[in-house]
Chain A
């Protein structure tokens, strides 16, 4: 099973390389440059920035609020990755559209934090009344 997967994978990879090299519509050098560029940009910039943002959240946000903040940060990163090319491309997406999505995402995070805080407060009061 493992050997079959690896052999099939090597064959398909060979087909991809031969096909790219033989395609008159394609400059394989340009593809290679872009492959290396996205890999380096991701490993050297995007992922370190994401991990750094995660560390900042752990450091500055109280434990009770971390999950909504982390989820909102992840959503913000994803929609930004999609919206920036749309802004720079032929469509010229208005930036306000991205800001609207970010506002909705962070409003939802704030609402989740508020709900948790209220629930905790009520629980404490119930415990105090009971005790």
Chain B
């Protein structure tokens, strides 16, 4: 062998050899195995075309993009890294982003179904793998399809509070698989871009068959029906129409829905309840009469659940900033850790950042819609703040710890 004089040329050759290996045709399986859906012409609908798959894919990418961004917002609000800042106004912003997240996810069901229908013949491609590169591409598509189905199915299960079939903690699984879906989607778009660009429109209609426009209309009607049947969980005027809404805004005690009841949380509080407020300037212990003796304010705020429902109520109680001032801290810069009577549970405590502490709409509420809080709404006292997910509106408040702001 003669040593190559130019190392650059060698590298180029090596790369070319590797590429040739990736694309070298693999031996095809015997044709006798080509049966059932693997037969040529097993999927006769002329409606399927690369163009249709590309258009449905583009629509799906928009839907997934909306769900990813709104989902990421919800994740960051609940697990804020140091760089993240979430405003306290507009008060209904989270209600909007999370309502949009769930509504878009539900409306995606017919779109995803149509897309997978359009590409079903590719699942039964023959030979199953033409080359190593082709096999890798198919694996990436499998990851994308699995991740997309995972997101939609686990999202529906969570909205339905049906956790038994999910062998993982929903919130964490839904979050990481969202990243997987986005990664696999980027790879897929990168691979398919030339196909989508040169895709010829194909035949428009066939007698007695659905046209491409007809299919899009059908998907749109499907999305419309599922939206109308559920969106009343956050758009109150539609609640009578939305017969499939998991929770409707006026369901529940005092005309307000509940996720976790006092019984589920294992909480029983009586009129002798005490709220401890601890801060840099000492701590105070307040009974219910003491809290009721402080200046009372009534605010109209939504409670917006991560599961997509939301409802507006009139809350009455003490401003959190007044309690913070009581223990010698500056409400404009203080952070408050709110803890519940609940002994265990992922959401037994929450942190209120300074922008929410200083907001005059943030209350330690004692009453809702004119009556004393129902135990399921957090009797004797709960947190209610603008633009926060419901899981952070801590109920059955036992202790407020004020940090900073001195």
Contacts and interface: CB of A to CB of B under 8 A. Distances in A.
Nearest to B157: A85
Contact of B120 (A33, A35, A47, A85): A47
A115 interface: no
Contacts of B149: 38-39, 42
Interface in A19-38: 19-20, 23, 25-27, 29-31, 33-36, 38
Given A79-B226, A82-B109, A17 B180 contact: yes
A100 B162 CA distance: 22
Contacts of B191: 2, 6
B190 A89 contact: no
A120 B185 CA distance: 46
Given A35-B150, A75-B222, A81-B109, A89 B187 contact: no
A8 interface: yes
A25 B230 contact: no
B167 interface: yes
A5 B179 contact: no
Given A11-B183, A13-B183, A81 B222 contact: no
Interface residues of A, number: 62
Find the residue from A9, A17, A93 having the highest chain B CB count within 10 A: A9
Interface in A31-68: 31, 33-36, 38-39, 42-43, 47, 50-51, 58, 63, 66-67
Interface in B206-258: 207-210, 214, 217-219, 221-223, 225-226, 229-230, 243-244, 246-247
B162 A79 contact: no
A10 B243 CA distance: 42
Task: Tell me the dominant secondary structure on chain B's binding face.
Answer: helix
B234 to A, nearest CB: 15
B342 interface: no
B184 interface: yes
A89 B162 contact: yes
Contacts of B160: 85-86, 88-91, 93
B72 interface: no
B171 interface: yes
A2 B137 CA distance: 14
Nearest to B171: A25
B172 interface: yes
B187 A6 contact: yes
Task: Tell me the dominant secondary structure on chain A's binding face.
Answer: helix
16 contacts: A6-B187, A13-B143, A23-B176, A26-B168, A27-B169, A31-B150, A35-B177, A38-B153, A42-B116, A66-B208, A78-B222, A85-B157, A85-B159, A86-B246, A97-B243, A101-B225
Nearest 5 interchain pairs by C-beta: A9-B186, A13-B183, A5-B190, A63-B208, A89-B162
Interface of B: 43, 106, 109-110, 113, 116-117, 120, 123, 142-143, 145-147, 149-150, 153-154, 156-157, 159-163, 166-169, 171-173, 176-180, 182-191, 193-194, 207-210, 214, 217-219, 221-223, 225-226, 229-230, 243-244, 246-247
Interface of A: 1-6, 8-17, 19-20, 23, 25-27, 29-31, 33-36, 38-39, 42-43, 47, 50-51, 58, 63, 66-67, 70-71, 74-75, 77-79, 81-83, 85-86, 88-91, 93, 97-98, 100-101, 105
